[in-house]
Structure formats: C-alpha cells, structure tokens
A and B are shown apart, each in its own frame.
Chain A
Amino acid sequence: MKLQVRSGDAVAGTLLWVMAAVIVQQSTTWPSSGDVAGDPTVFPRALAAIMFASGLALFVLPRPPPAREEGTGELRTLRTLLLIGLTMLMALSLETVGLVTAGIVYVLAAQRLAGAPWRKALPFAIGAPIAIWLVFVTVLHVPLPRGEIWQWLFS
C-alpha cells in the first residue's frame, strides 16, 4: 500500500479552498457584532481559516488509498452514472407526469439497467409506484404529485 497524494484528495482540497473563499466573501455582507450578540463572523471565519489549512494539507500530505471494494471498474461506474442520469430525469418529470407514470418508467429503466430480466422487472416496476401511491396518499394522507399533464387532460 503506497502513500501518495491522490486526485480525489486534490479535488477535496480545492473544494475546501473554494468553500473557505465563499464563506469569507459572504461574511462581509453580514451584520456587525454591534448589532448581533457575539460576532457572527467569528465562527465562519475561523472555519474558513481551518479549511484553507486543511485544503493545503490534502494537497501536500500523502495518505493511504481508500479501502475500496471490488467492482468499481469503468463499466460499472458507467452504469451508476446512467442511474444518476435516470434519477435526474425522474426528478425533472415528477411533477409533470406524476409519481405513478414517472415511477413506472424510472423503475423499469433502472431495473433493466441493473440487468434484471423483463419478467421480473415488469411486475415490480408497475406494482411498486402504485403501492407507494396507495400507502402515502390513501393510508397516510401525504399528498404526492398526480401529474400536471393528467390534471390538464382530465380537467
């Protein structure tokens, strides 16, 4: 196991610097200590200073590699990225087409992406969103998106 600075650590270090800069910039717009009990900038600016130093340490100090499990090859990562893309589409379409329709399409696509056969995937893809709808809306009385498109069509 070799100690070295890794790209993930370098990205994290950069992120800390960016966050530190944002905190310092934002804190200049806050009310002064005279208006608010205790100086509201003390904690955030101290945090920003620590972040800056930690970001530097992430660049400079070598660390052991992450304890990663098997199965993070390129193809499998691509599969996860596709699932994230699908999830974004689901989030975008949730209000427009409604939970049941978006859910059925999303679950079916994600299950097929995972490698599930049609005969197994289809019943769950149809059943799960309907079951979730029934539990939340009918039993728990928690409203979920019906879908603007359906409301427009049936109004």
Chain B
Amino acid sequence: MFDPQLLFAGFATIASLKVFPFLVLGTVMGIVVGAIPGLTATMAIALLIPFTFAMDPISGIVMLLAIYAGGIYGGGVASILIRTPGTPAAAATLLDGYPMAQKGEAGRAIGIATISSGIGGLFSACALTLFAPLLATVALSFSAPEYFSLAVFGLVVTMSLSGNSLLRGFFSVLCGLTIGMIGIDPIGGFQRMNFGFSELSGGFNFVAVMIGLFSLSEAFRQMEQMDTMPPVPPAIRNVLPRFKEIAGMWTVYVRACVYGLIIGIAPGVGAETSSFLTYAEVKRASKDPSQFGKGAPEGVAAAQAAENGSTGGDLLPMLTLGVPGDAATAVLMGALTIHNLQPGPMLFQERPDLVHQIFAGMISANLMFMIVGLLGARLLAKVVQIDRRILVPLVCLLSLIGAYAIDNNPMDVWVTLFFGVAGWLMYRNGFPVSPLVLAVILGGMMESNLRRTLVMGLGSPAIMLHRPIALLILVLAALSLYAVIRRNSNEARKRKAEEAVTE
C-alpha cells in the first residue's frame, strides 16, 4: 500500500548528494535531447542506460526518469521555436506554439508549455504514487492465465495503434516474439535456437537490441534527411507566465490531466496520442475554436499538459504488472532489470522503499524540468540549432560504446549494429519498431504463462473460461482488434471511393 512515510524518506534520498546531481543531470540531458529534432526521449533513455551501469540503482533510475520526463517536455520547445517537433509527441504543440512565436510571443509560449508540462507531469506522477500500490495489490491475485491475457492484450493494442497497417504491426510483433525465443527455454531451461553460437546462449542482450532499434536506427534515418539546417529561432523574452493566465486555463488542465493519464495507462499508446486527442477535445470544448491553430495559448497548454500527463500512466502497468505502456517505458523496464529489479507486484512487496523512491523521483523530475526549463529557456534556442551533421555521428559512436559497455562484449556491438540496420529498414518500409520491442519483452511472459495455464488446465485452454479477469482481458483485446480492423476497412473503402471520383 501507499505509505506517506516511505514517500518522505524517498524524497530525502532524492535530495541527498548521492542522487540529486543525477536528477539535475538527467533533466538537462532529457530536455536537450528532446529539444533536438529527430532525437526522442526513448532514444535518450536507450542511449544513456550504459552511463547508469556503475551507479547505485536509485541514482541510475532517477536519472533515467528525469531523462524521460525532461525529454517529453523538451520536444515542445523545438515545435514552438523552429516549427519542427523535437519528439513525435510534440507535434500537437506546434499547431499553436509556432504561431505564438511568429507573433513575437516565443517566450510566453515556452513559459506556458513549461508550466503546463509540469502540471500534467505532476498530476500523473501523483496518480502513479496513489494508484500503483493499489493495482499491485490487485495484481498479487493474478496467476498464469491473467498474465498470459495481459501479454496478449498489450501486444494486440500495440500493434493495432502503430503505423498505418495492422499487418505490418503484426509482422513486428512476430519478429519480436521470435527474437525473444532465442536463448533459453523459460520453463525447461534448455538451450534453444542459438544455432551453435555460445554468445547467444542467453539470448540477445535486450539493452543492445534497444540501443540498435531506437538509437542507431534513428541516427541512420537522420543521415538521410540532413540537407536542411534548422531555421534560426526567434528571440525569447518574458518566459515566466502570469499566475492569472495559468489559473485561467484550469479547465484545460483538468481535461489534459485526465485524458493524459487514461491514455497513458492503455498499453501501446503514450504521449503522442494523448497530446493530439486532448488538443482536439479542448478545441471542441472551447468557446472560440477558431483561435486554435492561430496561436491560442490553450492549445499549447493542452498539448503539453497531456504529453507529460501520460508519463505516469505509462509507468503504471510497467511498474505494477511488468507490462510496459509504450516504447519509452519498455526501455525503462530494461534499465530496471539491468539493476536486478524485476517490475511487477512482487517489487512492491519486496522493495517498497525503492518503489516509493521511484515515485519521489518521478515527482521530483517533473518539478526539476519546470525549474530548468524556465531558467534555461534562452539557452534552449541554441540547443534546437545544434548542427545534426556533427551530432548524428556522435550518437552512432555513443550507441556502439554503450552496447560494448553492457558486458564488455564485442558481440553486443554487432547486435546493436544489426538491429540498427533492421530498424532503419523497417522504418523505410513502414513497419513500426515499438511492437517488436514490446514483443521481445512480453514474449517470455506470454510463453511461460501460456504453458503454466495449460498445465493448470491439464492441457486444455478451456481453463481460461473459468478465469473471469483473464477472459475479460482477452475479450477486450479481441474488441480492440475488431475496432481497428473495422476502422481500417472503412478507411480503405473511403479511399477507393475517393479514387473512383478522381478517375
């Protein structure tokens, strides 16, 4: 259960000299990487995991949480200043943030974006603190059938919501499940599918796979689009917004926080979906929707608050059930396992102190990026202008070194390179990468729990019919799959009709 005393002790740990510098460092790195177009928060976490190897677990985890929160916020800065989203999630901020900058209100837009991200992030971090222990308590009653259903649900939703083709998402999931099978049988413990390579006896190193898919492949992708230099950003003045202005947007914040949290909890979707959905909803509910898209501060506030409002929700299923909410939390989960911490309900039983330190870390990270963002707004104008011709090769180098540093094993460098090329090719051909990563993580959970379920049912899967929670989760997975298939077929029909009219 939630324990206020443990939370205060967690804040004391975060404020200690052993952890606090890493909170600041992580926040700065997250904001910087997030603000550079093309570099995402997920990439920043994957790239910087190796730096946490030598740290004690809580310092490393707090630094990664700060990178995560700061990275999500930082994406909006580039949207406002140079009309290029720093991260995909920040595309909704662009709609009103850039018009505000064009009107000479770049500083005001950044100020509103910073405070709004902070409000959304703090709300979701507090919700995480309150709800995660409750969900973990419920999850203690879960058995193999429920975990199998959760893994199926996570994969179905992830593949449904990524990219413009369900089948391409499914391809990614199947590849991820196959990659997850390489190494050791999860129950029998025998070697399988290592093709005689002793280096593969434990399977692919997950961190090396993530660095390749999220960091190196992104660098390869950036190399193709490097002919244009970012435009010169406008001058930044009057960053600190007036209290009256922020307080006047409370209805926007209520919507953004609730939407952000709910969307964040849903597997497979995160900041990107929540910011666009909230923006659309706030615009619909506005007294004057015509102002949206022309520099409405409410638009910036809605997008940014929802973006960071989803972060706590994304962390919730990962921490309590071991099912990551999106790609960024999948990478964070990998980082936790590196520090010998297995997310799930048992973590709440065995290490309540650490769990509360994580909550305190998440709340502190959201406060910290507000402070750093407001104080360093003028410097951010320089960050968005960083020359990518210099930066991208450095990202490549850091990816390779990070992979090597995992186990001092040259094989991991090749694994990263292989998945870097694979990720780049997948992107070029419209195959989403996130479902592959989630499938690698959830594959083992899915397989071992399916087998345990079959043992429980004496070889028959009919046992699922007698487990209401497991059945409900499977029905939800089937419904979401049906909804996506129906949506896709409607779109295809519409496209055909449009083509017929054009011809």
Chain B residue at minimum C-beta to C-beta distance from A38: B451
- Taken together as a complex, chains A and B put the C-alpha atoms of A43 and B439 apart, in Å, by 14
The answer to whether the Cβ of B224 comes within 8 Å of any Cβ in the partner chain is: yes
Main secondary structure of the interface of A (DSSP, over half): helix
- Taken together as a complex, chains A and B put the C-alpha atoms of A43 and B174 apart, in Å, by 12
Asked if B394 contacts A128 (CB within 8 A), the reply is yes
Asked if A51 contacts B174 (CB within 8 A), the reply is yes
- Taken together as a complex, chains A and B put the C-alpha atoms of A111 and B220 apart, in Å, by 13
Q: Whole-angstrom distance from the CB of A52 to the nearest CB of chain B?
A: 10
Asked if B421 contacts A16 (CB within 8 A), the reply is no
Asked if B405 contacts A142 (CB within 8 A), the reply is yes
Which A residues lie within 8 Å of B224 (CB)?
A: 71-72, 76-77, 79-80
Given A142-B405, A144-B405, also A91-B397 (CB < 8 A): no
Asked if B396 contacts A110 (CB within 8 A), the reply is yes
Asked if A16 contacts B174 (CB within 8 A), the reply is yes
Asked if A54 contacts B170 (CB within 8 A), the reply is yes
Which B residues lie within 8 Å of A71 (CB)?
A: 224-227
Asked if A84 contacts B421 (CB within 8 A), the reply is yes
- Taken together as a complex, chains A and B put the C-alpha atoms of A95 and B409 apart, in Å, by 10
- Taken together as a complex, chains A and B put the C-alpha atoms of A43 and B29 apart, in Å, by 42
Given A54-B167, A87-B417, also A23-B455 (CB < 8 A): no
* Contact pattern, A 58-72, Cβ under 8 Å of B = 1, otherwise 0: 100101111111111
The answer to whether the Cβ of A150 comes within 8 Å of any Cβ in the partner chain is: no
Asked if B450 contacts A43 (CB within 8 A), the reply is yes
Asked if A12 contacts B431 (CB within 8 A), the reply is yes
Q: Whole-angstrom distance from the CB of A100 to the nearest CB of chain B?
A: 11
Which B residues lie within 8 Å of A6 (CB)?
A: 429
The answer to whether the Cβ of A57 comes within 8 Å of any Cβ in the partner chain is: yes
Asked if B397 contacts A121 (CB within 8 A), the reply is no
Asked if A124 contacts B390 (CB within 8 A), the reply is yes
Asked if B396 contacts A30 (CB within 8 A), the reply is no
Asked if A36 contacts B397 (CB within 8 A), the reply is no
Which B residues lie within 8 Å of A129 (CB)?
A: 397
- Taken together as a complex, chains A and B put the C-alpha atoms of A11 and B425 apart, in Å, by 11
Selected interface stretch from B49-57, B277-285, B326-334, B370-378? B49-57
Which B residues lie within 8 Å of A38 (CB)?
A: 187, 450-452, 454-455
Selected interface stretch from B177-185, B239-247, B291-299? B177-185
Asked if A39 contacts B454 (CB within 8 A), the reply is yes
Which B residues lie within 8 Å of A135 (CB)?
A: 51
Asked if A142 contacts B54 (CB within 8 A), the reply is yes
- Taken together as a complex, chains A and B put the C-alpha atoms of A115 and B409 apart, in Å, by 32
Asked if B190 contacts A111 (CB within 8 A), the reply is no
- Taken together as a complex, chains A and B put the C-alpha atoms of A78 and B446 apart, in Å, by 40
* Contact pattern, B 389-402, Cβ under 8 Å of A = 1, otherwise 0: 11011101110110
The answer to whether the Cβ of B404 comes within 8 Å of any Cβ in the partner chain is: yes
Give 30 pairs: A residue, B residue, CB < 8 Å, sorted on A: A12-B171, A22-B193, A23-B178, A30-B192, A35-B188, A38-B187, A38-B452, A38-B455, A40-B187, A42-B450, A47-B177, A54-B174, A57-B167, A63-B164, A64-B165, A66-B168, A71-B224, A76-B226, A79-B224, A87-B396, A87-B400, A91-B417, A95-B410, A107-B394, A114-B223, A114-B392, A135-B51, A140-B51, A140-B53, A144-B408
| 5 tightest Cβ-Cβ pairs between the two chains A and B | A66-B430, A8-B429, A38-B451, A110-B393, A36-B188
